[in-house]
């Protein structure tokens, strides 16, 4: 993985691994906005984006609009941007560049690839003099998430792929079972018609509804569980009920459950998701300190 921590290679991480893996680190900041950029990395790229958004913010400020305040929640699951109206969730493997201003301890920015449009967006914040700390926290979260991905990510995705294959086979068997039931029903109907024509005066001896044409008790998946004791006189243990609690995996996704999904509820292309995460982590996160803007504009946004 290509990680460029050149300026901060002598820095130590700000938080314990547990704080970022089991919880999140909150920061309050003002959100200057986001804008599309052409490249996933580069000092000039973020410098131009900061200047553009600062200029737009000054225009809005002159019109009486205030800069919205947001809460940043940083963890190994991503960087959440929360405000009263909207919520952005930037996954770490999509964040490729993060920088703070060497001359202004409040301004920091990061570039993240949008999950829907696949465009690179540059987010810019005013962080009340803790820009460098936030940058380092994002770098630490990225490092921990990458380690977790190497330890369990591949295994987790492979397991889900196997479950997806089993689910597909279950659907195929259910379709075959439905077709066989229809054929059996047709045979039963033909047998009843034959018996009606063969019996005197059109009478027919009704067949017990508890058996089919082969004198077998039809199988029903919703039949009540038999209470017949086992040979030693004890009742079989009850089947444990499945928990209704939805658990999530390492990367915030709901684990695929073949027992709760209906027909056609197959999981998405898991392999493409794995490839995307591998590509993002392979690109790495570059942390830099730079001078965003030397224009004589009011630094307060």
Give me the residue spans of the domains in the chain: 17-152, 153-194+274-286
Q: Which two tokens stand for residue 7?
A: 């300026």
Model pLDDT, residue 29: 94
Contacts of 224 (CB under 8 A, 6+ apart): none
pLDDT of residue 293: 65
Bridge partners, 76 (sequence order)? none
**Does the pTM exceed 0.85?**
no
Q: What is the CATH number of domain 17-152?
A: 2.30.29.30
Q: In the prediction, which pLDDT does 254 show? A: 55
Q: How far, in Å, CA of 83 to CA of 235, rounded?
A: 56
β-pairing verdict for 286-290 and 95-101: parallel
Helix, strand, or coil (residue 64): coil
Residue 95, phi then psi, degrees to nearest 5: -90, 120
Report the pLDDT value the prediction gives residue 270, as an integer from 0 to 100.
Answer: 66
Q: Which residues pair with 72 in a beta bridge?
A: 27, 81
Q: Which pLDDT does position 263 carry in this prediction? A: 38
Residue whose token pair is 């225009």? 59
- Print pLDDT tens along the chain (301 aa): 444 443 444 457 889 999 999 999 999 999 999 999 999 999 999 999 999 999 998 899 889 999 999 999 999 999 999 987 778 899 999 999 999 988 888 999 999 999 888 899 999 999 988 899 999 999 999 999 998 888 875 565 566 667 777 888 898 899 989 999 999 998 988 888 887 777 665 555 555 555 555 556 565 555 444 455 555 555 555 555 545 455 555 555 555 444 344 434 445 566 677 778 878 888 888 888 887 765 545 545 5
User: For position 283, what pLDDT does the model report?
Assistant: 83
What is the pLDDT, as a whole number, of residue 239? 52
From CA 280, how far away is CA 27, in angstroms rounded?
25
Strands 87-90 and 78-82: antiparallel
């Amino acid at each position: 993985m290509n990680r460029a921590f050149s300026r901060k290679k002598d820095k130590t991480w700000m938080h314990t691994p547990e704080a970022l893996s089991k919880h999140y680190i909150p920061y309050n900041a003002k959100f200057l906005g986001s804008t599309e950029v052409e490249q996933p990395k580069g000092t000039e790229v973020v410098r131009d984006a900061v200047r553009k958004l600062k200029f737009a913010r000054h225009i809005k400020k002159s019109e009486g609009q205030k800069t919205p305040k947001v809460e940043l929640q940083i963890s190994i699951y991503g960087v959440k941007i929360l405000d009263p109206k909207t919520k952005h969730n930037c996954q770490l493997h999509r964040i490729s560049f993060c920088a703070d201003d060497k001359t202004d301890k409040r301004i920091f920015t990061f570039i993240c690839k949008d999950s829907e449009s696949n465009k690179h967006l540059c987010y810019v914040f005013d962080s009340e003099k803790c820009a460098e700390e936030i940058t380092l926290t994002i770098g630490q979260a990225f490092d921990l998430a990458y380690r977790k991905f190497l330890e369990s990510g591949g295994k987790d995705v492979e397991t889900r792929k196997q479950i997806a294959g089993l689910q597909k086979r279950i659907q195929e068997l259910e379709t075959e079972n439905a077709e066989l039931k229809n054929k059996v029903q047709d045979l039963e109907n033909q047998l009843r018609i034959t018996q009606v024509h063969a019996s005197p005066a059109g009478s027919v001896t009704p067949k017990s509804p508890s058996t089919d044409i082969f004198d077998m008790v039809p199988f029903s998946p919703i039949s009540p569980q038999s209470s017949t004791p086992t040979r030693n006189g004890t009742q079989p243990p009850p089947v444990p009920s499945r928990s209704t609690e939805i658990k999530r995996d390492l990367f915030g996704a709901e684990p695929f459950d073949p027992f709760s999904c209906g027909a056609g509820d197959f999981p998405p292309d898991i392999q493409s998701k794995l490839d995307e995460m591998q590509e993002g982590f392979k690109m790495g996160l570059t942390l830099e300190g730079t001078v965003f803007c030397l224009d004589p504009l009011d630094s307060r946004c």
